[in-house]
Amino acid sequence: MDTKALLEKVKSGTMTVEEAESLLRRQPFEDLGYAKLDNHRKLRSGAAEVVFCQGKADQHLLSIFDRLYEAEREVLGTRANEQQATLIQTHYPDASFDPISHVLKIEKPDKLKRGLIAVCTAGTADIPVAEEAAQTAEFLGNNVVRIFDVGVSGLHRLLARLDVIQGANCVIAVAGMEGALASVIGGLVSKPVIAVPTSVGYGASMNGLSALLTMINSCANGIATVNIDNGYGAGYLASQINLAICEGDHSHFKAE
């Protein structure tokens, strides 16, 4: 529910006061039995509920997409598989599915995007998690630049794109193995860095635990670390940072 848009409709006369009142009287959540959809999440936090698709029964997933689409005219789903994508696309031909990030979404066309978030990976194997972060941020209304395969084993690759990275309002650093990329970037930029450890690596990487421990023990300043493989969490947090900066600097806004 976008309350500002609702009030603008009342002001312009395209919606009656009674219609607006009916919408505002809806319960804060809709109880479907198997799920309780948070109808007021956008009102409280600025972004509507996102669907974690993994493990959901087909009928449950479809019903949840139906309800969210009815309310918002767009839906973001994470960790979807190809079967779930086919199910949703059968009912919503405009839905898109990325088999790399497993993001399944129905998105409003020509969405206004602001500011800039840089999404960097140490290696190519980290791209699935990075894409989940990048596509989450884009869905939430942010411009994103992708800078992949710039890990510390070839530092010159990172330095070659440093001007772009330093120009972003927030940087997401995605790395497995020893997870050193976040510390390096943290020492080179003045903006917040969100570190994302991935489960990429050999045995002693312990499915991302080594990268996680490196990132949360970083000596560089301004680094926050999310959970292993949590690209969505990083993309959401980066969006909050970037849009907060944009709200304070109107030069980031594009003319509508």
Q: Residue 152's domain spans which residues? A: 114-248
Residues 76 and 165 in one domain: no
Number of domains the chain is built from: 2
Query: Which pLDDT score, from 0 to 100, does residue 27 have?
Result: 59
**If we measure between CA atoms, which residue out of 175, 179, 78, 79 comes closest to residue 127?**
175
In this structure, of 8-17, 66-75, 243-252, the range with the lowest mean pLDDT score is 243-252
Average pLDDT over residues 118-144: 97
Residues 32 and 80 in one domain: yes
The residue that leads in pLDDT, 114 or 250, is 114
**If we measure between CA atoms, which residue out of 72, 108, 101 comes closest to residue 85?**
101
Does residue 159 belong to any structural domain of this protein? Answer: yes
The predicted model scores a pTM of 0.84
The residue that leads in pLDDT, 1 or 182, is 182
Picking from 42, 75, 106, the residue at the C-terminal end of a domain is 106
Average pLDDT over residues 235-241: 96
Sort 1 into a burial class: Cβ within 10 Å, 0-12 / 13-18 / 19+. Answer: middle
The residue that leads in pLDDT, 247 or 48, is 247
Picking from 82, 106, 130, the residue at the C-terminal end of a domain is 106
Query: Which pLDDT score, from 0 to 100, does residue 34 have?
Result: 67
Please check whether residue 198 is in contact with residue 129, taking contact to mean a CB–CB distance below 8 angstroms. yes
Does residue 256 belong to any structural domain of this protein? Answer: no
Average pLDDT over residues 82-90: 97
Query: Which pLDDT score, from 0 to 100, does residue 255 have?
Result: 39
